[in-house]
Amino acid sequence: MRPTLQTVADVVGVSRSTVSNAYSKPDQLSPELRERILDTARDLGYAGPNPAARSLRKGRVGAIGILFSATLSYAFTDPYAVQFLRGVAEMAERHETGLLLMPLSDGDSVSAAVDNAVVDGFCIYCLPDWHASWDAVRARNLPIVVAERRDEGHPDARYVGIDEAAATRNAGRHITGFGHRQVALIADWIITERETRPVAVGEVAELPYYVTRERFAGYRDALTEAGIDWSDVLTINAAQNSRAAGAEAAAYALDRSPRATAIMAVSDQLALGVLDALAERGLQPGRDVSVVGFDDIADAAGARLTTISQPALEKGRIAGGLLLDPPDDPAEGRVVLPTRLVVRASTGPAPH
Amino acid sequence: MRPTLQTVADVVGVSRSTVSNAYSKPDQLSPELRERILDTARDLGYAGPNPAARSLRKGRVGAIGILFSATLSYAFTDPYAVQFLRGVAEMAERHETGLLLMPLSDGDSVSAAVDNAVVDGFCIYCLPDWHASWDAVRARNLPIVVAERRDEGHPDARYVGIDEAAATRNAGRHITGFGHRQVALIADWIITERETRPVAVGEVAELPYYVTRERFAGYRDALTEAGIDWSDVLTINAAQNSRAAGAEAAAYALDRSPRATAIMAVSDQLALGVLDALAERGLQPGRDVSVVGFDDIADAAGARLTTISQPALEKGRIAGGLLLDPPDDPAEGRVVLPTRLVVRASTGPAPH
DNA sequence: TTGAAAGCGATACCAC
DNA sequence: GTGGTATCGCTTTCAA
């Protein structure tokens, strides 16, 4: 049998409290005794206090669950996601807390994973509205921080996000100010299917994913203000949030007549793909076709991409802080961070 | 007070076993009763069986700890690491197991993180030999799988890796076969400091990190066979495993006289940086300077990089499998996967 | 089917 | 400083 605290206590001839103290409260007993206990434990092959038991007793686990929709590798491949998670990880580190990545498959086990997660709270991020795990998470009755989305179904949920629509509204005005009329929008999750193709604006009315929905709403506002008919806007679904998918999606806007003179993407990854597509066709960004991204990831500056900068790292830090060090005032549990339109060379006046 | 199983049992008027069964063994009680229990639980705001308590009782947690040296964001930025982790995640998903990422800071808390991790086992990967957490992990007395390294200090540890030295020996022969004599080697962790600079071969004798040590050993064998003096080989430490660091390191080999005609890097990330450095100088890979990488990441093919292919995804899957579904025969717990030299355009005959 | 009782392995609290 | 006792919340026999 594996040795336990009790085993060690018996061998040393002390009570279990004392052994426990030897591990958790070194200053509660004499150094010699502590030494003796630790030595015996080592000889016995005692592995130290069982974390599950400790968690049960203390009511604290020392880990938070990270929930997102996609596969591990995909989520971490996105520079924005990486920054966000780095922020969360920073706070976690500071609080000596682990990050439990939960593989969310699509079957029944979605809920099982959430149900069994040994965590003190959940950080949800990039989880489409339709995903089954939302209910499972709420049922757990643990602190929740949602990034990128207000959780209407859970009014007390802490939240850190940005004003998505305001950000794109602003960017949209930048574009319409340049006189663009032939506009295309690229996003993943316009539809739940993972395929790259134009999607009729009718479908777009009920975007299933909060972030895309809001960002499109902002663009819609700006374009409509400028007298552009929303139904004239070409909206293209990208199979995923990747550079390649962005390039593929851009083809639909570039290889038709009239060609789009401005292409806005909901992420820099996609927008970089659009730039790739331009380069392939010998088109110059900002002159022949204007391109706008979102996120202001590291590569955006080098690519001279006009984009909307959002503080991903800070967002992660705040999400982590909200979870690990909750504010007394619930009002402080809802944080909206600023965004900024970063104008670079990829946008300019519409060609005649 | 938060409701517990007991609370629900009392309200419904059954024993806790029955409530427990309602959750864990639906077929052990009548559907009506189960329904009634679940409804009451919902009304009471009972969050379902407490995972910590369940873990304690069952002796199984449903999560494995992932240990690596670097920051989260760094680890996941490396395409090789991402592939590896995707493999692990795949197996984890299949076993309904979570992945606990442990923030390994450098202070005392290194051990605390490991001590408190509520996990069923550890998967160690990319953890330098000198890292303090090795001891803490061994003390936990849990199943361990080590990727990329034999753990001599823990002979029973399961292991999945490749023959690092054989792989680079082979690549080295490819290079010497082309007649190269002016050779440079680029690696991170030649020294424990994170700075990009040439490192004298004397220091290199005691490389602190297993992977770099082995890969260098292979190259050394091949070069020595060809009559190249190991002390004539320029070895350059890269501050980190990134493309930028690779380019920076390459400068030391390219901007000196005589210029290196072959540069071997311990990763494709670094090697891609080397190609960047060549491009900057108008040098042609495979004609002016030959470049070899390691890993065969997705970008390597497009960059026409000669490299050593290793099955990262498969490695991750096996690591996960070894941990979650251990083989009966301990001999099967030590897996060495094949590597393959993939020759592309970045290597060629040494220029006269 | 259902229930009673016995742990799982530790920590908190309060005497001593 | 040290030891007893209750308890954290659940699952698991084993009887009924």
Q: Nearest by CB to A105, which of B72, B93, B98? A: B93
Candidates A52, A98, A118; nearest CB to B101: A98
* Window 7-46 of chain A: CB closer than 7 A to strand D: 13-18, 21, 27-30, 33
Contact A347, A292 (CB under 8 A): yes
Q: Can you tell me the mean pLDDT for A170-175?
A: 98
Contact status, residue B332 vs residue B101, Cβ threshold 8 Å: no
- Average pLDDT over chain B, rounded to an integer: 91
Q: Per the domain annotation, does B103 fall within a domain?
A: no
Q: Which two tokens stand for residue B338?
A: 């094949």
Which burial class, exposed, middle or buried, applies to B297 when counting CB atoms under 10 A from its CB (0-12, 13-18, 19+)? buried
Does the residue A170 lie in any domain? yes
Residues B164 and B210: their CA atoms lie apart, in Å, by: 9
* Single residue among A49, A64, A80 that ends a domain in this structure: A49
Residue B331 is given by DSSP the state G
Residue B113 makes CB contacts below 8 A (sequence gap 6+) with A96, A98, B102, B103, B104, B105, B133
Q: Would you state the pLDDT for residue B203?
A: 66
With CB atoms and an 8 Å threshold, state whether B98 touches A96.
no
Contact pairs from chain A to chain B, CB under 8 Å: 143
Task: Give the number of other CB atoms < 10 A from CB of residue A109.
Answer: 17
Last residue of a domain, one of A12, A33, A49: A49
What is the torsion angle, in degrees rounded to the nearest 10, for the CA atoms of residue A273, residue A167, residue A180 and residue A275?
A: -10
Pairing of strands B334-337, B158-162: parallel
- Quick one: closest CA in A to B91, which residue? A103
- Assess whether B17 (CB) lies less than 7 A from strand D: yes
CA distance A225 to chain B (A): 40
Q: For the segment B205-225, what is each residue's pLDDT rounded down to a tens digit?
A: 688 888 999 999 999 999 999
Q: Which of B45 and B330 is assigned the larger pLDDT?
A: B45
Query: What is the band of A209 on the pLDDT scale with cuts at 50, 70, 90?
Result: confident
Residue B222: domain span: 163-311+337-342
Q: What was the pLDDT predicted at B152? A: 63
User: With a CB-CB cutoff of 8 Å, which residues 19-78 of chain B face chain A?
Assistant: 45, 47-56, 61-63, 65, 71-73, 76-77
**What is the band of B94 on the pLDDT scale with cuts at 50, 70, 90?**
confident
CA dist A344 → A79, A243, A283 (Å): 19, 19, 17
CA distance B305 to B290: 9
% of residues, chain A, pLDDT over 70? 94
Between CA B15 and C1' D8 the distance (Å) reads 19
Question: Out of A47, A62, A92, whose CB is closest to B139?
Answer: A47
Does the structure show a pLDDT above 90 at B338? yes
For residue B119, being part of any structural domain is answered with no
Q: Strands of B98-101's sheet, edge to edge? A: A334-337, A158-162, A144-147, A122-125, A63-67, A98-101, B98-101, B63-67, B122-125, B144-147, B158-162, B334-337
CA distance B139 to B133: 10
CB B47 to CB A139 under 8 A?
yes
Task: Give the separation between CA A83 and CA A267, rounded to whole angstroms.
Answer: 14
Asked whether the bond before B326 is cis by omega within 30 degrees of 0, the reply is no
Asked if pLDDT for residue B107 goes beyond 80, the answer is: no
Which pLDDT score, from 0 to 100, does residue B245 have? Answer: 97
Say which CATH number the domain at A167 has. Answer: 3.40.50.2300
A237-257 average pLDDT score: 96
Chain B residue with the nearest C-alpha to that of A3: B141
Q: Is residue A253 part of a domain?
A: yes
Tally of domains in chain B? 2
**Which pLDDT tens digit goes with each residue over A53-112?**
999 999 999 999 998 876 667 777 788 988 998 899 889 888 889 999 887 766 556 678
Rounded average pLDDT over A27-31:
88
Distance CA B23, CA A4 (A): 30
Q: What is the pLDDT of residues B253-299, one digit of tens each?
A: 999 999 999 999 999 999 999 999 999 999 999 999 999 999 999 99
Looking at the predicted structure, is the pLDDT value of residue B328 above 90? no
The confidence score (pLDDT) of residue A262 equals 98
The protein residue nearest D9 (Cα–C1') is B53
Cβ contacts of A281 within 8 Å, gap of 6 or more: A254
Q: Is B52's CB within 8 Å of A61's CB?
A: yes
Alpha-carbon torsion angle A180, A183, A188, A194, nearest 10? -160
Confirm if A113 and A66 have CB atoms less than 8 A apart: no
- Confidence class for position B105, pLDDT limits 50, 70, 90: low
Whether A336 has a pLDDT exceeding 80, the answer reads: yes
Is any Cβ of chain A less than 8 angstroms from the Cβ of B89?
yes
Mean of pLDDT values over A134-160: 82
Higher pLDDT, B202 or B167: B167
B155 vs A223, higher pLDDT: A223
pLDDT band at residue A113 under the 50/70/90 scheme? confident
Mean pLDDT for the stretch of residues B33-43: 91
Q: Which residue has the higher pLDDT, A221 or A204?
A: A221
Q: Per the domain annotation, does A236 fall within a domain?
A: yes
Regarding whether B39 and B172 lie in a shared domain, the answer is no
User: A168 and A296 share a domain?
Assistant: yes
Decide if A89 and B105 are in contact by the 8 Å CB cutoff.
no
CB atoms within 10 A of CB B119: 30
**In whole angstroms, what is the distance from residue A274 CA to residue B228 CA?**
48
Assess if residue A3 is contained within a domain.
yes
In angstroms, the CA of B96 and the C1' of D4 are apart by 41
Q: Which residue of A has its CA nearest to B135?
A: A47
Highest mean pLDDT among A205-209, A337-341, B3-7, B37-41: A337-341
Q: Cβ of B101 and A100 within 8 Å?
A: yes
Determine which helix (DSSP H) or strand (DSSP E) holds A107, and give its type and residue range: none
A27-41, B34-48, B125-139: least confident range: B125-139
What is the pTM assigned to this prediction? 0.89
For the ranges A284-293, B138-147, B149-158, the maximum mean pLDDT occurs at A284-293
Verify whether the Cβ–Cβ distance B89 to A109 is below 8 Å: no
Using one digit for the tens of pLDDT, what is the confidence trace for A281-314? 999 999 999 999 999 999 999 999 999 999 999 9
For B316, name the nearest residue in chain A, comparing CA atoms only. Answer: A73
Residue B305: strand, helix, or coil: coil
Hey, is the C-beta of B282 within 8 angstroms of any chain A C-beta?
A: no
Return the pLDDT at A149: 75
Q: Domain with B30 in it: what CATH number? A: 1.10.260.40
pLDDT for the residue numbered A126: 82
Q: What is the pLDDT, as a whole number, of residue B150?
A: 66
Question: Cα Rg for chain B, rounded, in angstroms?
Answer: 26
Over residues A133-161, mean pLDDT: 82
Please report whether residue B168 resides in a domain: yes
What percent of chain B is modeled with pLDDT above 90?
Answer: 66
Residue A185, min C-alpha distance to chain B (Å): 28
Model pLDDT, residue A112: 82
Residue A28 has pLDDT above 90, yes or no: no
Q: Is residue B12 part of a domain?
A: yes
Decide if pLDDT at A216 tops 80.
Answer: yes
Nearest protein residue, CA measured to C1' of D11: B57
Residue A205 predicted with pLDDT over 70: no
Q: Which residue of A has its CA nearest to B48?
A: A140
Cis peptide before B26 (omega within 30 of 0): no
Phi and psi dihedrals of A147, rounded to 5?
-105, 140
- Give the count of beta carbons closer than 10 Å to the beta carbon of residue A241: 25
Q: Test A82 with B77 for CB contact under 8 angstroms.
A: yes
Nucleotides of D under 7 A from a protein CB: 1-5, 7-13
